[in-house]
Chains A and B, each alone.
Chain A
Amino acid sequence: ELPPSHFSAGRAAAVAVGYLRYLRGGPGQGLELRALRRARRQDINDVGHKYYLELELEDVLDKGRTVNCTAEVLYHLGSKGTAPDVQATVQGELRSTEEADKEFYHRIRSLEKELVAENIPDSQGNVPPELEPIHLLAWAASGYVIWQNSTENTKFHLAQVKHVKQVKRSDEDLQFDYVLLLHEMVSQEVIPWEVTVLWHPQRGARVPRDRRQPGHA
């Protein structure tokens, strides 16, 4: 059993939330951890460390409502290479994003010029309302990168969307090429990461391509 304030519990929770953001997040919803209620750690010989977590989650756009979630995060032995395994079950429903998703989808599809933006939020923390969905989609995409690249010795957050460029496609997906700044709490590095996101109201978000930007920030 771990006190929820212990850093290793918080790091595992961040992985679980990243995973869930990728699976369920999108331009109409921003999943955030409201509280970590309980954490247990199990050391499995020759396999790795498994964390059992009880989380309370909220949608930043609808903070009156929370849902409970149980998650398991397994970090494999030997830190390089494999992403942690995550399983998560969410009890209950957050507010529906169907309307918001449709509206966003049509707004972007009907843009004459491809959307380009940078510094979201800006230095003072501002996000223009029309860019909030782009910000939330970046959150969902960063969830994938965070999940795939986390170890017991890292804790990632999305620090800022440095740059985003829409790429028009002939199929039904929306495509955005992002440069995200990821803040890694343990080393305190802010790492630029190139992430391509595909999104569709029914199919959700997918990250077909991502890479840590070479060179020093």
Chain B
Amino acid sequence: ANMKLILIFSALIGASLCLETFVGHQVLRIKTKNEEEVKQLQLLESLEHLELDFWINPSAPALPVDVRIPAVSVQSVKAFLESQGIEYSILIEDLQDVLDKEQQDMAESAQRQRSSSSFDFGAYHALDDINNELDHLASEYSFVEKIQIGESYEKRPLYVLKFSTGGSNRPAIWLDAGIHSREWVTQASALWIANKIASDYGTDASITSLLDKMDLFLLPVANPDGFVYTHTSNRMWRKTRSKIPGSICVGVDPNRNWDAGFGGPGASSKPCSDSYRGPRANSEVEVKSVVDFITNHGNFKAFLTLHSYSQLLMYPYGYKCTRPDDYAELESLGRAAASSIQSLYGTTFQVGTICKTIYQASGGSIDWSYDNGIKYSFAFELRDTGRYGFLLPANQIIPAAKETWLGLKKIMEHV
């Protein structure tokens, strides 16, 4: 009874403040079985003091009746229906909750629209939309260029965004995402990061001084065939989609296919395995294209790659469990980057060599880059630690991208 009084009072006060509130209002769906029940509902409809709001009016037995009931009347209407044996279900438990959520969603979406000219960085996108956004960024910013470094197995272009404010073959930083296609937060974060760098050049001191001295090359979808497959067929697909001679199984693990300890422990020789290394190093065109591009460029200083999940920040080696020559510097830089990441939302990343932190794994990309003279080689495993794993909710994309960006920036500033 107290609840009712409170509700009546707040409704009255709300009304007097011209604030219509739907706290405690329920929307029921009523399934009438015959004409008699329809008539009962029409009787109910005529009782104006109940202030029932029929979203679908009672007309014929075959059609459902949806009605919004103010909080004060909910119990009595339900009692009436039950006493008449009329079936109903609750469509909306509390209308105000739904409205509040809707307002929140719209405000968030509007804010995202304002700050990103209609590409929603806080949502997951399919390949075509991502490629369109790359075009958009390239056309909007003079120092951003979309280049193609090769083609996937199924002939999809491998697009890289080149950030360059001038010079000729400046020292460069490499960043890739989505080499394992099911790790969706990585491609999504890469897009956010691309937009962040592009829009903050000129205003953010750190990004401006970085791009004034160095170039950045960003490959947001390193495995487009696998990525499309996760959208069309199997959300858990990891590998490329190349046909393997002599096997019914498809695909190679692109992060076991690099020429670094290739064939060693930590990669499978079985084509059906999710960590199949491939018939030989660089057999995968997705890997070969990057190798050729970086080798021909000749002036890369950092190689950074995004994976998920586990929240780890790792440096070489994976193919062997000995420390790299630059262990002290990489460990220290890794810790500093992890600290930056943590400063934003408290997300903790463990730091260490691949071999000690996750497992021994041969044929990995950062081992190759390190052994080819690119000292600052790091692999990130982004959110989370297993609650959602690969299926990270979209509302965590931007937080994940933001914190990761802080870690990347820390490393880039040091390079």
**A5 close to chain B: CB less than 8 A:** yes
A60 to B393, CA, bound (A): 14
- For B388, give its contact among A33, A125, A185 (CB under 8 Å): A125
B358 in contact with A125 (CB, 8 Å): no
* Dominant secondary structure of chain B at its interface with chain A: loop
Binds B, one of A71-79, A84-92, A116-124: A116-124
Give the contact stretch, choosing among B32-40, B112-120, B215-223, B272-280: B272-280
Q: Which residues of A contact B260 (CB under 8 A)?
A: none
Q: Answer yes or no: B351 CB below 8 A from chain A CBs.
A: yes
Chain A: interface residue total (CB-CB under 8 A): 31
Give the distance to chain A from B391, nearest Cβ to Cβ, in Å: 5
A157 at interface by CB-CB < 8 Å: yes
B391–A159 CB distance below 8 A: yes
Interface residues on B, range: 35 or more
Query: What's the nearest-Cβ distance from chain B to residue A50, in Å?
Result: 21
Please pick, from B235, B351, B356, B389, the residue contacting A7 in the complex, using a CB distance under 8 A: B356
The 0/1 profile, CB within 8 Å of B marked 1, for residues 106-126 of chain A is 000000000000000111111
Taking a contact as CB atoms under 8 Å apart, the answer to whether B389 and A183 are in contact is: yes
Task: Indicate if the CB atoms of A124 and B357 lie closer than 8 Å.
Answer: no
Query: Chain A nearest CB: distance from B129 CB in Å?
Result: 14
Do the beta carbons of A7 and B357 come within 8 Å of each other?
Answer: yes
Select from chain A the residue with minimum beta-carbon distance to B395.
Answer: A125
Which residues of A in the span 107-156 have a Cβ within 8 Å of any Cβ on B?
121-126
List residues of B (358-404) whose CB comes within 8 Å of A's CBs: 358-359, 385-394, 396
B352 touches A124 (CB 8 A): no
A33:B393 contact, CB within 8 angstroms: no
Bitwise, A154-175 to B at CB < 8 A (1) or not (0) is 0001111000000000000000
**Nearest residue in A to B236 (C-beta to C-beta)?**
A190
* Additional 6 contacts, C-beta under 8 A, given A121-B388, A123-B124, A185-B310: A7-B358, A124-B123, A126-B393, A160-B236, A188-B253, A189-B273
- 8 A-B pairs with least C-beta separation: A125-B393, A5-B350, A157-B386, A188-B274, A190-B236, A125-B391, A121-B391, A188-B275
Can you list 30 contacts pairing A with B, beta carbon distance less than 8 Å?
Answer: A4-B350, A5-B350, A5-B351, A6-B352, A6-B357, A7-B357, A32-B385, A32-B386, A123-B124, A123-B231, A123-B235, A124-B391, A124-B394, A125-B392, A125-B394, A125-B396, A158-B386, A159-B389, A183-B236, A183-B389, A183-B390, A185-B358, A187-B268, A187-B274, A187-B275, A188-B238, A188-B274, A188-B275, A190-B236, A190-B274
